Amino acid sequence: MALPRTSADRGDDVHSKRERRKEARPGELLDAALDLFVEKGFAATRSEEVAARAGVSKGTLFLYFPSKEELFKAVVRENLSGRFSEWNEEFETFQGSTPDMVRYCMRVWWERIGATRASGITKLMISEARNFPDLAAFYQQEVIRPSHVLIRRILQRGIDRGEFRPLDLDYAVFSIVAPMVFLIMMKHSLGACQPQDYPLDPERYVHSQAETLLAGLCVRPGEGGRA
């Protein structure tokens, strides 16, 4: 038979719920901030709006994030830059060919980033970066540079294995980046100009871009892969 609950037990439950709620707040604030930054842009989003959407006071928001700029940086780290360790680990453990790695990376990028709310961060940076040079520098350091380093590693792997032709890696990186940026812009803005009878299917688009890219990268039978 269960013993009756005491007021102390109930007090412990309330305390436990409060602690769980406190631990959840940063994540709730980041979710609310991501939604509002994507919907309204960085400049137009007010801190009190983020707090209200997360169900807390503005003062509570500033306990976790002392400024809107720091809040934005935390959103970027949570949704983009914080994932590079995971992606680099996948690079290290990938067992297939480099062409298969390119296909995998482009497909997974769409599934994990492009198809999610996080893709709106890129669109936001494209439209507002010049107005906020400090945030642009932060985004370059946290997202652009690590992504270019990872793509270079992928392309270099293909060259070293004799699968890809010798490449100007400084510019070959953009061959992978550009189709992905275009897809984000179609999703968040340019898609409004798309003819209704010619919808863009993201999965087909990614597959087509990967195959077209690989047709130019891959060594053909009889060609030498290394310089």
| pLDDT band with cut points at 50, 70 and 90 for residue 17 | very low
Share of the chain above pLDDT 90, in %: 79
Whole-prediction pTM value? 0.83
Last residue of a domain, one of 48, 75, 102: 75
Q: Taking a C-beta distance cutoff of 8 angstroms, is the pair 65, 73 a contact?
A: no
pLDDT in the model for residue 224: 58
Please, which residues have CB within 8 angstroms of residue 104's CB and are 6 or more apart in sequence? 94, 96
| pLDDT band with cut points at 50, 70 and 90 for residue 226 | low
Instruction: Tell me the mean pLDDT in the region 159-164.
Output: 97
N-terminal to C-terminal alpha carbon distance within the chain? 80
For the domain that residue 194 is a member of, what is the CATH number? 1.10.357.10
Same domain (yes/no): 88, 51: no
User: Which pLDDT tens digit goes with each residue over 21-47?
Assistant: 455 589 999 999 999 999 999 999 999
Same domain (yes/no): 39, 143: no
pLDDT in the model for residue 7: 57
Torsion of CA 205, 196, 38, 43, to 10 degrees: 120
Instruction: Tell me the mean pLDDT in the region 157-162.
Output: 97
Same domain (yes/no): 96, 186: yes
Q: Which residues of 195-206 are buried (b: 16+ CB within 10 A; e: fewer)?
A: eeeeeeeeeebb
Q: Tell me the two tokens of residue 89.
A: 């680990």
Q: At what angle do helices 68-79 and 119-128 cross, to 10 degrees?
A: 140
- Is 55 part of any domain? yes
Q: Is the predicted pLDDT of residue 140 greater than 90, yes or no?
A: yes
Same domain (yes/no): 152, 111: yes
- Is 139 part of any domain? yes
User: Which pLDDT tens digit goes with each residue over 56-90?
Assistant: 999 999 999 999 999 999 999 999 999 999 999 99
Same domain (yes/no): 71, 120: no
Q: Is the predicted pLDDT of residue 115 greater than 50, yes or no?
A: yes
Q: Which domain does 206 fall in, by range?
A: 80-217
User: Which pLDDT tens digit goes with each residue over 177-214?
Assistant: 999 999 999 999 887 787 777 778 999 999 999 999 99
pLDDT in the model for residue 192: 77
Count of structural domains, the chain:
2
Same domain (yes/no): 42, 67: yes
